[in-house]
Amino acid sequence: MENIEEKTGVPLLGDRFPEMKVQTTHGKIELPGYFAGKWFVLFSHPADFTPVCTTEFVAFQKRQDKFKAMDCELIGLSVDQVFAHIKWEEWIKENLDVEIRFPIIADTGSVAEKLGLIHPGKGTNTVRAVFVVDADAKIRIILYYPQELGRNMDEILRAVEAMQISDKNKVAMPANWPKNEIIGDHVIIPPATDVDTAKERIDKAKAGEFECFDWWLCHKKLL
């Protein structure tokens, strides 16, 4: 039987999240099965006990309930031992009065390598990456940040909500949704791909089903 080489490097959008067994602060778990049927955000950070990462973990934790309201879980990762994660969590609790309640992966480097999280110019530290994974374990969004820049968790929240709305309603989401400069909180109807549909769009716009600037730029408010 022909051997199929395991895919390495950064997974692509639309790929299934690779299966892996990991040690976390909540015990050993298997991904993506641990979050079966749910969305999850896996985010890597360069190292424990570092200032920017500390602000990020506090920010994620303060928004955990908002993620959970969208049936979306959080899980962190860095190439640190689980003991370091635990001591760092204790420091955050004691000094910042925030209890980290989501699991953190204690990676030996194998997970980071599989996900393409080690920058060759940054030693063994993981980059600031974000993987947004849907309820079918498909990777929907990948974000990368340099070590010097902390992430905007409200944008990650917005992205998860927007993707869920897009999936449910078969629509596209405008820039800065729900506060787009042109159409406000409306969503975009995918462009027509044939002449008949293009003509139909204008007729439906005249009938008040949605609004159009032209047949290729139609939008509506979700009920």
d(CA 55, CA 51): 7
The active-site residue, picked from 53, 72, 212, 218, is 53
| Cβ atoms within 10 Å, residue 177 | 20
Contact 74, 102 (CB under 8 A): yes
| 3-state SS, residue 115 | helix
Q: What does the alpha-carbon distance between residue 145 and residue 109 come to, in Å, rounded to a whole number?
A: 19
In DSSP notation, 174-219 reads: -TTTTSBTTTBT-EEEPPP-SHHHHHHHHHHHHTTSSEEEETTEEE
C-alpha span between 138 and 128 (Å, rounded): 20
Q: What are the φ and ψ backbone dihedral angles of 25, each rounded to 5 degrees?
A: -70, -10
Whether 53 is catalytic: yes
Cβ-contact 215, 192 below 8 angstroms: yes
Beta strands in 2-158, from DSSP E residues, in sequence order: 20-24, 27-31, 39-44, 72-78, 104-106, 128-133, 139-145
Q: How far is CA 142 from the centre of its chain?
A: 7
Active site members: 53
